[in-house]
Amino acid sequence: YHNDLFYLTGTRLAPKEKLDIPVLFMPDMMKVYEAVVVIHVMRENGENWPYEDSAELNKDLKSSVTVAENGGIQGILWIYPVHGIPEAPQQKLVPAVVRCRARQRVERRVEVLLTGVVPGANAIPAARSPAVVYTNKPDNIQVVQVTDGFSTTVEFRYELQYQSNEIKCQLGALVGMHVIQREWDTESGIVTLIFNVVFVPNKPMRNEATLVVQCTTRGVWKFPMLFIATEPEVDDVINIEAVGLNKESIVDFKLTSQTR
């Protein structure tokens, strides 16, 4: 995206005909870009659409039509805002493995590197942050602020994404994470985030997840993770002593449910 204007004129559309407008996005740096696609439609014969109260157009309608001198509507505008959110290239990253025995608890530190966070690289002011990025923050998205040591502060939001809703329901309540350390190297443009990951599995499993970190003005970084829960420890050993040949021996033991 650039600040240049591109025009496509002379395109003729029949009634109910479709028009595809390709939009190409090739970012060369981690920075959110904004553009607007404007479609201006006019009658082929040059006539205007009649409109009785063109002088009294309401505010919303004035932004979507062009009015001729004689009071008719000369053209109709469709305005589509476009937000380009770059995603850091994913090289063959080795998943961060969090392994724990079922019915136990483990904590592990996971370090991620966010490349290309350049201070003041045409960042979008807060008032103009793209509405498409996290307009309504879900409960599972956490926010962390990182400063370059001087006056620049950047906000990052992170969450764990799963391959399916079934895995999300199974694993979401068993995993917790929060940032315990942050650092911004302004010379290399690398932000380092260190997470403390808590894994409390209740049964054996092996599930993948993706740690997604997004900056509202710079883009998205993704990191693979793997959660492995192995077989739990044996609860107890039950010994049954025979009372004689061809006779039954019985041992009673209690099982307590952890849930309703």
Alpha-carbon gap, residue 234 to 250, rounded angstroms: 21
The CATH fold of domain 96-119+141-230: Immunoglobulin-like (2.60.40)
What's the pLDDT score for residue 250? 92
What's the pLDDT score for residue 56? 59
Contact in structure between 195 and 96 (CB atoms under 8 Å): no
Q: What is the pLDDT along the chain (260 residues), one digit of tens a residue?
A: 444 455 556 788 888 888 888 888 998 888 888 988 888 888 888 888 877 665 556 556 666 887 777 777 888 888 889 999 999 887 778 899 999 999 999 999 999 999 888 765 544 333 333 333 333 344 457 888 888 766 678 889 999 999 899 899 888 899 999 999 999 888 888 899 999 999 999 999 999 999 999 988 889 999 999 999 999 999 889 999 998 899 999 999 888 887 88
Alpha-carbon gap, residue 134 to 118, rounded angstroms: 22
Reference 174, options 201, 209, 195, 196; nearest CA is 201
What's the pLDDT score for residue 214? 92
- Burial (CB < 10 A; 0-12, 13-18, 19+), residue 189, is middle
What's the pLDDT score for residue 138? 46
Reference 97, options 112, 108, 89; nearest CA is 108
**Residue 158 neighbours by CB under 8 Å, 6+ apart:** 141, 142, 144, 179, 193, 211, 212, 213, 214
- The amino acid at 163: Q
Q: Where are the domains of the chain?
A: 1-86, 96-119+141-230
Residue in the structure block whose two tokens are 């109709």:
76
